[in-house]
Chain A
Amino acid sequence: MDNIGHGGKEIVERILPKSAAIKRLSELRAAKVKELPVRLQIATEVIDIAYGFFSPLEGFMTKADVESVCDNMTLADRKTAWSIPIVFDISDDDLKKSGIKQYDEVLLTYTGNPFAIFDVTDIFSLDKKEVAMKVYGTTEDKHPGVKRTYQYQDKFLGGKITLLNPPKINEPFTRFWLTPKQMRERFQEKGWEMIINHQTRNVPHTGHEWLMKGAYLGAYGSMMVDKPRGGVLVNAIIGEKREGDYIDEAIILCQEAQGKYGYFREDIFLTTCSLWDMRYAGPREAVFHACLRTNLGCTHHMFGRDHAGVGSYYDPYDAHRIFNKLPDGSLRIKPIFNLDWWFCPVCDEVTYMGLCGHKDKKASFSGTLIRSIIQDGVKPPRRIFRPEVFDIIMECAEKYGFGSAFVNEQYLKNRQPVFTIEPLK
């Protein structure tokens, strides 16, 4: 597999090898370059940029990029599709205090340790309300993406990032963390020519399982069946949580269980994670997910009903329609569109809106319904929910969730961080 990512460009990797990083750090400190501590939100995206999850981005966006993303859904080159601004914000005060100027080299630190070099080439402000309207289609701060936009400080810095100090990914996420290049190597080892991405921030029930299996069968097409030539990649989004979400540990371990317990053959199934704070931008987030998974080396991407939506801001199939509006050749990944699934008592199986003719008898099982059952500590029937997955949820609740499989205040405050930046030595 080549290393060509979104936009037809080589996957970005901007990481200094350890010895070079140590040397560079001492040079920077000797030259007394400005240092700037960053918060988790920014640190996450520094990592994403440096490893090429956001290829072809090499840094935080300049004003020209942000404006073009808002107006044209492309980067400033007017060619490369991009739907969500990736920005580095700073308060007026901190900007003044730091003395950072255009073309400065800045040392970013995280949790007190050296982290990355930021070549600041642009300093700008944005009309946040306008950004919100263009990206999210609303200016209501009830929308979590809009809320995040409004919470940004008043100034923004654009420019390239170089990682000095790679993150230590903590358990239980370690084995699920593969960079885009590592992901491509893994696919090559597995002999996969077709890789279907399943986007998730949930623990799986059989509705999800059915959709993945349907996508696999559909996309496999007329490839020879002599050996597995394709597989399903569950790429779980790990990032900022909201109360009531499943805890990250349960999400990743339960997804893995589908392969471990044979609901998918292990040679056609892989679970990994990507670090990303969901913006719930519906259709625009769907386009972003397509770019992200192109960079991971996927050939297909599933988009369900109300993909990455929130509340009633988007029509359930807006996230499908947006792909018809992109110019041909904008994406190097093929969308697979899914309708709803349900349990049909007549077919006596989990089935699909596009197949089952007993719509009036259907028993839908939304995430809310499944959560309600799990919260009662009741094991759902195996046709709805795999018993091994249920057991793992209960284990995770005890081990990682302070007694709950769902995010609560205590989890937000006291959970183990997904990654840490250690001293650079």
Chain B
Amino acid sequence: MAEETYPINLWINEERLEKLQQAGLSSMCKEVLAGLKVLAVPNTAAQRDKVLKMFPMAKFDTATTKSIELLPKAVKDKIFDLVVQKKSLNIMDDFLKS
């Protein structure tokens, strides 16, 4: 079984999809709900804890989504931009450093 990740779900609309396509990353999206796409940015347990500490309004939702939720839009936009810029999902260390 794969190691548990603690993802941040970035929901993909057309604008985001276009950026992902340009970066050649669109295959990283998963279709989850009636065609809705999500890009799950993985976190280690340590990264998850740092994110939750840095953004006290955020929560790890254990009950339903099993992901880090309630991050402000601006924060998620920044994470998305980093993914596109680095052409990789493994950007959380960079994000936490910045």
Contact = CB atoms under 8 A, between A and B. Distances in A.
Contact of B70 (A244, A363, A365): A244
A372 interface: yes
B55 to A, nearest CB: 13
Contact of B76 (A365, A366, A371, A376): A376
Contact of A378 (B13, B35, B61): B13
B66 to A, nearest CB: 10
A379 B70 contact: no
B43 interface: no
Contacts of A371: 69-70
Contact of A373 (B11, B63, B64): B11
Nearest to A406: B70
B65 A368 contact: yes
B36 A377 contact: no
Contacts of B71: 375
A369 interface: yes
A311 to B, nearest CB: 9
B35 A369 contact: no
A346 to B, nearest CB: 12
B54 interface: no
What does DSSP make chain A's interface, helix, strand, loop or mixed?
loop
Given A343-B33, A372-B69, A378 B12 contact: yes
Given A369-B64, A376-B10, A376-B76, A363 B32 contact: yes
Nearest to A349: B34
A364 B70 contact: no
Interface string A374-412: 011111110110000000000000000000000000000
A365 B13 contact: no
Interface in A305-364: 343, 345, 363-364
A412 to B, nearest CB: 14
A366 B32 CA distance: 13
A343 B34 CA distance: 7
Nearest to A311: B63
Given A363-B32, A363-B33, A368 B12 contact: no
Contacts of B63: 366, 368
Interface in B26-64: 32-36, 57, 61, 63-64
Contacts of A345: 34
Given A378-B11, A378-B13, A384 B69 contact: no
A285 to B, nearest CB: 20
A378 to B, nearest CB: 4
A372 B11 contact: yes
Contacts of A376: 10-11, 13, 73, 76
B35 A381 contact: yes
A414 to B, nearest CB: 18
Given A371-B69, A384-B34, 14 more contacts: A244-B70, A343-B34, A363-B32, A368-B63, A368-B64, A372-B9, A375-B72, A375-B73, A375-B76, A376-B76, A377-B73, A378-B12, A378-B13, A378-B36
3 nearest A-B residue pairs (beta carbon): A366-B64, A378-B11, A381-B34
Interface of A: 243-244, 343, 345, 363-366, 368-369, 371-373, 375-381, 383-384
Interface of B: 9-13, 16, 32-36, 57, 61, 63-65, 67, 69-73, 76
